[in-house]
A and B are shown apart, each in its own frame.
Chain A
Amino acid sequence: MTPIDRRLVFSLNWPLLLLVAGLFTVGVFNLYSASGVRVEEGVALNPYYQKQVVWGLAGLFCMVVVMLPDYRYLKSLAWPLMCLTLILLAMVPIVGKSVYGAKRWLDLGAMSFQPSELAKISVLLLAARMLSEASGKLGWLGLLGVLAACLVPAAMIVVQPDLGSGLNIVLLLGGLILYRGLTGGVFKTLIVAIPAIMPLAWRFLKPYQKQRILTFLNPENDPLGSGYHIIQSQIAVGSGKIWGKGYLEGSQSQLRFLPEKHTDFAVAVFSEEWGFIGVIVLLSLFAFFLLRIYVSARDAKDRFGSFLCAGVFFYFFWQITINIGMVIGLMPVVGIPLPFISYGGSATIVNFCLIGLVQNVSMRRYVFKKS
């Protein structure tokens, strides 16, 4: 491994790092508040925020590891990694362990492992590789090739069932394809075809998944059942008003009206306590965060690097869209966490790894001149 060049350090996407640090800090402080639960004897704390700090440190380490090898090696790894992913996904229904009625985990003795997390990275790498191989807009042939390669793992994940992760992969892929651009004919056909396939897809959804979408469309129908989450989360957000109730003062979260407040609804806790002013700050952080990834995609020295960054962009973009959209009632309830704000071990590690990937591309944008 070559010693780290001064220029590499200089070319790091420093603003992105700072934004990630900012978001992660907001996330930990917010988790501290979300961990508090008022009980008869005062306030009880769940140790989520401490664990999150540990996961963050582990993520930081993983990020540095991902930054070190030149990302161009990954290109050749794309296919083998995809094969490995498919094998692992195939094993899940056979030897996987069942949690909440869904088989998503592989037991590796000391720790459990979700092949669907690996699948996200495999799809990202493979799609970036396939789409960056040629320039110009994508025709039918190229499109079908990419879809054939990447939709197989997505389908396997959806049947686990893990709609959230499957959706994440499909959306990531879709984003990357649009990033590359489609030829006029293909684009027009898809505009017509995709809405036509939707009713067909509806038939493959599980009843509880259908219920979630129906409830999203009309939460008041079922205020104590599945509509409860949507209503309570909007009450939490709305009752924050302009200035918020103050840190640690959110009644909706402290009194447990808010569901899943460490994970999926963490941003509702934030909105309740910090109000519209806090929300502007948080959304600005996310917007600049996405724009900094965009900068790395723009400045990348080769197409593969650029597509990698765009993939990471879409990965985060969709998570932010779906998660916050769900909290404020613009999206159905889908279990997708908010990057750096929601509690979650493996999600944090993956997020940091992806930032490492972007840094990897960013820091090597001038290497080309030297060779």
Chain B
Amino acid sequence: MPVPFDREGPPAPRGGLILLQILTLGLFCLFIARFWYLQVLRGDYFGDLARSNQIRETSISSPRGVIWDRNGVLLAVNEPSFALGLVREDCADISATLGQVAEWTGLETSNLQEIYLRGKKRVKTFEPLILINDLSFETLAKIESNLVFWPGLEIIVRHKRFYPRGELLAHVLGYVAEANEEELEKDPTLALGDAVGKQGMEYTMETRLRGQKGRKQIQVDALGRELDEQVIVEPKGGNNVTLSIDLGLQEHCAQQLEGQAGAVVVLDPDTGQVLALVSQPSYDNNLFVLGLSANKWQELRDDPMHPIQNRVSQSVYPPGSVFKLLMTTVGFATGMLKYTDSTVCTGSYKMGNHEFHCWKKGGHGRIDLRGALVNSCDVYFYQLGERLGVDRINAVATECGLGVPTGIDLPHERAGIVPSTAWKKKRYGVAWTRGETLNTSIGQGYVQLSPLQVARFMGSLVNGGRILKPLLDANDPPLEQGRLPISDKDREFIVSAMVATVDAGTAHKIWRPDARIGGKTGTAQVVKLINADERKKTVDMPYKYRDHSWLASFGQKDGKSYVVVCMVEHGGHAGEAAVPVVKSVYDYLFGPVRTQAQSKSQPQTDTAPPAESD
């Protein structure tokens, strides 16, 4: 081999050789130190990170408690709902699949495409993208039998709240709907897509109904695919709730009010339990469960009859003559009114140069307290109001729970108003006038009460003076919120005056021989009338100017006691709208009256003009 070796100088540079050794040793030491740090010093830390990497904890939804009426009829249930999902990863031809779905469901392909494009951004490729939320059974059957030919399509079963009686109990039950951002933020146990109570009992009983979610651990890979799962905590179903509502009574009341705007509330005065709570018109709360379209929501919200409004607790109205019951109570409570106090009603009451009219043009003549209550004499109560002053009225009303929320387990209850001089100063910045006291005395002017408050007050008059919280849960014990500030004798006087009102006074139409029924009618003006001459027959007035019609009553038969309060918006005079409704409710509660008794006891109903105009 002729290749010469290079013999000049030492073959390997000494510095270079040392460099190689140093580099090798340095690298070895550096790496060992770093691995020591990562694996020994911080091994536990990284071990935890690796575990949380692969184990994902998710929750298992728990079924919401169901709601029954007091007789065990289901009012709110959980139903399986079938959704159609598309798993993109498994789908060979997405546009063909969407086309097929359109054919099955009769939806527009372009609509489906839009849903698909919207969902694509949020849903991972191996997760089902929901195309259609609530499949009908018919469509479901059609799709299910063909599912094998369309890989990627998937039927997803979820639980959906269903209210079998929809409109009938919408105002009591409310509804559940998907939790919004705010609710999600407030409650860490809620997850996106969870349903929460938004209205009614579903809202106020949320914590009882919801139950506790279970937890499961899912082993996932880096793409989030689920490989294995293990339940850690079993889900606990929510508590069931039995309502005090009697479905049959509720239905009957609703039918009586059909086509009108108004409220009926039936209470058991001895326990405070609400047996019927009807607000008409109503809406189908099932619409909200799967999400309401913007159009439908707009329609409901802008409906001039306000179907979403719960007129029993969320609406307040001037109570009209019903307020005279309170005026009497105030008189007794302050010791400023005696049974024998009488006055002469000339048909009007003069204050300064303004005349306040009684509903009866000619006047009632000499009239005492009982007569004034039975015949609803306005002049008598003008005078009483003058004597008492508005601040006394306000103080006792508050004690009696009027102008104060009842605390019923329904959201957004309104307090109403019983005015005072301080209230007016604060609200309007001007002083109270004496004339306003007179208006207040007959339940007009600023006074506004909810039908539920009136019912609670009526209950306390007949149950021994106990102001009881209106209860919706049949298992809640009675809750006394206060007592009427009058003696039993005074209370009995008012009750007997109410009985007399039904026996022979303004509420005679609800009289029946086989029960003890008492009541007080009320007609509340919606617009201020300058003088009594302008009063017209209800039918001649435009709807929104018509008076509100009230009847607050109680009925006792065979040891059973009920309070029935009805308010019909713009129903005109009490006798025209509220009275037939209440009468029919007692017919339902006490059964039909024997005919001979009825004909004997109601001689004047058809022939005589309305006994009361109020």
Q: Footprint of B on A, CB under 8 Å? A: 2, 37-40, 70, 72-73, 132, 134-136, 178-181, 232, 234-242, 251-252, 255-257, 271, 275-276, 279-280, 283-284, 286-287, 290-291, 294, 297-298, 300-306, 310, 313, 317, 320-321, 324-325, 328-330, 367-368, 371
Determine whether the beta carbon of A279 is less than 8 Å from that of B35. yes
Q: Which of B21, B25, B53 contacts A255 (CB 8 A)?
A: B53
Given contact pairs A40-B227, A135-B9, A276-B40, A313 touches B20 in the complex (Cβ within 8 A): yes
B39 contacts partner chain A, Cβ-Cβ < 8 Å = yes
**Per-position contact with A for B18-60: 1 when CB-CB < 8 Å, else 0?**
0111011101101110111011101111110111011000000
How many Å lie between the Cα of A371 and that of B40 in the bound state?
Answer: 56
B223 contacts partner chain A, Cβ-Cβ < 8 Å = yes
Determine whether the beta carbon of B20 is less than 8 Å from that of A239. no
Determine whether the beta carbon of B11 is less than 8 Å from that of A257. no
Can you list 19 A-B pairs with a CB-CB distance of less than 8 A?
Answer: A37-B221, A39-B225, A70-B1, A132-B6, A134-B8, A135-B13, A240-B39, A241-B39, A241-B44, A241-B46, A251-B51, A276-B39, A283-B31, A290-B23, A291-B21, A302-B7, A306-B12, A310-B20, A328-B38
Q: Which residues of B contact A241 (CB under 8 A)?
A: 39-40, 43-44, 46-47
How many Å lie between the Cα of A232 and that of B49 in the bound state?
Answer: 9
Q: Which of B3, B35, B54 contacts A70 (CB 8 A)?
A: B3
Q: In angstroms, how far is the closest chain A Cβ from the Cβ of B2?
A: 9
Q: Which residues of A contact B16 (CB under 8 A)?
A: 178-181, 297, 310
B608 contacts partner chain A, Cβ-Cβ < 8 Å = no
Taking A271-B35, A275-B39, A321-B27 as given, write out 16 further A-B residue pairs in contact, using a Cβ cutoff of 8 Å, ordered by the A residue number. A2-B1, A39-B221, A40-B227, A135-B10, A239-B47, A241-B43, A252-B53, A255-B54, A255-B222, A256-B221, A256-B222, A284-B28, A294-B17, A297-B17, A310-B20, A330-B34
Q: In angstroms, how far is the closest chain A Cβ from the Cβ of B154?
A: 16
B220 contacts partner chain A, Cβ-Cβ < 8 Å = yes
How many Å lie between the Cα of A287 and that of B32 in the bound state?
Answer: 11
Given contact pairs A2-B1, A256-B223, A294-B24, A180 touches B35 in the complex (Cβ within 8 A): no
Q: Which residues of B contact A38 (CB under 8 A)?
A: 221, 227
Determine whether the beta carbon of A235 is less than 8 Å from that of B13. no
Given contact pairs A256-B222, A271-B35, A239 touches B11 in the complex (Cβ within 8 A): no
Q: Which residues of B contact A320 (CB under 8 A)?
A: 27
Determine whether the beta carbon of A303 is less than 8 Å from that of B6. yes
Q: Which residues of A contact B428 (CB under 8 A)?
A: none
Q: In the A-B complex, list the 8 residue pairs whose CB atoms are closest, starting with the nearest.
A: A238-B46, A241-B43, A135-B9, A179-B16, A239-B50, A72-B3, A255-B221, A306-B12
How many Å lie between the Cα of A158 and that of B221 in the bound state?
Answer: 36
How many Å lie between the Cα of A310 and that of B21 in the bound state?
Answer: 11
B137 contacts partner chain A, Cβ-Cβ < 8 Å = no
Count chain B CB atoms within 10 A of each CB in A37, A180, A239, A325 and give the residue with the most.
A239
Q: Which residues of B contact A232 (CB under 8 A)?
A: 53
Given contact pairs A238-B38, A255-B222, A317-B27, A303 touches B46 in the complex (Cβ within 8 A): no
Count chain A CB atoms within 10 A of each CB in B11, B17, B220, B221 and give the residue with the most.
B11
B609 contacts partner chain A, Cβ-Cβ < 8 Å = no
Determine whether the beta carbon of A298 is less than 8 Å from that of B39. no
Q: Which residues of B contact A238 (CB under 8 A)?
A: 38-39, 42-43, 45-47, 49-50
Determine whether the beta carbon of B39 is less than 8 Å from that of A242. yes
B603 contacts partner chain A, Cβ-Cβ < 8 Å = no
Q: Which residue of B lies closest to A242 (CB)?
A: B40
Count chain A CB atoms within 10 A of each CB in B32, B42, B46 and give the residue with the most.
B46
How many Å lie between the Cα of A240 and that of B38 in the bound state?
Answer: 9
B149 contacts partner chain A, Cβ-Cβ < 8 Å = no
- The count of chain B contact residues (Cβ–Cβ below 8 Å) is 49
Q: Which of B11, B38, B43 contacts A303 (CB 8 A)?
A: B11
Q: Footprint of A on B, CB under 8 Å? A: 1, 3, 5-13, 15-17, 19-21, 23-25, 27-28, 30-32, 34-36, 38-40, 42-47, 49-51, 53-54, 219-223, 225, 227
Q: Which residues of B contact A255 (CB under 8 A)?
A: 53-54, 219-222, 227
How many Å lie between the Cα of A176 and that of B490 in the bound state?
Answer: 115
Determine whether the beta carbon of A257 is less than 8 Å from that of B43. no
Q: Which of A180, A235, A301, A317 contacts B11 (CB 8 A)?
A: A301
Q: In angstroms, how far is the closest chain B Cβ from the Cβ of A338?
A: 12
How many Å lie between the Cα of A298 and that of B12 in the bound state?
Answer: 6
How many Å lie between the Cα of A320 and that of B24 in the bound state?
Answer: 10
Q: Which of A239, A279, A287 contacts B24 (CB 8 A)?
A: A287
Interface SS of chain A: helix
Q: In angstroms, how far is the closest chain B Cβ from the Cβ of A78?
A: 14
How many Å lie between the Cα of A3 and that of B256 in the bound state?
Answer: 118
Given contact pairs A135-B10, A180-B13, A238-B42, A283 touches B1 in the complex (Cβ within 8 A): no
Q: Which residues of B contact A371 (CB under 8 A)?
A: 1, 5
Q: Which residues of A contact B12 (CB under 8 A)?
A: 297-298, 300, 303, 306, 310
Q: Which residues of B contact A300 (CB under 8 A)?
A: 11-12
Q: In angstroms, how far is the closest chain A Cβ from the Cβ of B48?
A: 8
Count chain A CB atoms within 10 A of each CB in B5, B32, B220 and give the residue with the most.
B5
Determine whether the beta carbon of B5 is less than 8 Å from that of A72. yes
Q: Which residues of B contact A367 (CB under 8 A)?
A: 1
Given contact pairs A241-B40, A242-B39, A252-B53, A303 touches B9 in the complex (Cβ within 8 A): yes
Q: Which residues of B contact A324 (CB under 8 A)?
A: 31
How many Å lie between the Cα of A242 and that of B54 in the bound state?
Answer: 21
Q: Which residues of B contact A234 (CB under 8 A)?
A: 38, 46
Determine whether the beta carbon of A290 is less than 8 Å from that of B221. no
Q: Which residues of B contact A181 (CB under 8 A)?
A: 13, 15-16
Determine whether the beta carbon of A368 is less than 8 Å from that of B5. yes
Q: Which residues of B contact A329 (CB under 8 A)?
A: 34, 38
Q: Which residues of A contact B220 (CB under 8 A)?
A: 255
Q: Which residues of A contact B31 (CB under 8 A)?
A: 283, 324-325, 328
Given contact pairs A2-B1, A256-B221, A298-B17, A235 touches B24 in the complex (Cβ within 8 A): no
Q: In angstroms, how far is the closest chain A Cβ from the Cβ of B240?
A: 38
Q: In angstroms, how far is the closest chain B Cβ from the Cβ of A318?
A: 10
Given contact pairs A234-B38, A234-B46, A283-B28, A251 touches B53 in the complex (Cβ within 8 A): yes
Q: Which residues of A contact B17 (CB under 8 A)?
A: 294, 297-298
Determine whether the beta carbon of A302 is less than 8 Å from that of B28. no
How many Å lie between the Cα of A302 and that of B13 in the bound state?
Answer: 11
Q: Which residues of B contact A325 (CB under 8 A)?
A: 31
Determine whether the beta carbon of A302 is less than 8 Å from that of B11. yes
Determine whether the beta carbon of B20 is less than 8 Å from that of A179. yes
Q: Which residue of B lies closest to A296 (CB)?
A: B12
How many Å lie between the Cα of A305 and that of B4 in the bound state?
Answer: 12
Determine whether the beta carbon of B13 is less than 8 Å from that of A237. no
Determine whether the beta carbon of B222 is less than 8 Å from that of A257. yes
How many Å lie between the Cα of A253 and that of B269 in the bound state?
Answer: 71
Q: Which residues of A contact B45 (CB under 8 A)?
A: 238
Q: In angstroms, how far is the closest chain A Cβ from the Cβ of B30?
A: 8
Q: Which residues of B contact A303 (CB under 8 A)?
A: 6, 8-9, 11-12
Determine whether the beta carbon of A178 is less than 8 Å from that of B35. no
Q: In angstroms, how far is the closest chain A Cβ from the Cβ of B613?
A: 77
Q: Which residues of A contact B36 (CB under 8 A)?
A: 276
Given contact pairs A40-B227, A310-B20, A135 touches B39 in the complex (Cβ within 8 A): no
Given contact pairs A238-B46, A251-B50, A252-B50, A302 touches B6 in the complex (Cβ within 8 A): yes
How many Å lie between the Cα of A19 and that of B46 in the bound state?
Answer: 31
Q: In angstroms, how far is the closest chain A Cβ from the Cβ of B503?
A: 80
Q: Which of B9, B38, B221, B222 contacts A237 (CB 8 A)?
A: B38
Q: Which residues of A contact B225 (CB under 8 A)?
A: 39-40
Determine whether the beta carbon of B43 is less than 8 Å from that of A240. yes
Determine whether the beta carbon of A276 is less than 8 Å from that of B27. no
Given contact pairs A180-B16, A297-B12, A301-B5, A257 touches B46 in the complex (Cβ within 8 A): no
Q: Which residues of A contact B30 (CB under 8 A)?
A: 330
Q: Which residue of A lies closest to B47 (CB)?
A: A239
Q: Which residue of A lies closest to B53 (CB)?
A: A257
Q: Which residue of A lies closest to B26 (CB)?
A: A321
Q: Which residue of A lies closest to B50 (CB)?
A: A239
Given contact pairs A237-B38, A239-B50, A302-B5, A291 touches B24 in the complex (Cβ within 8 A): yes
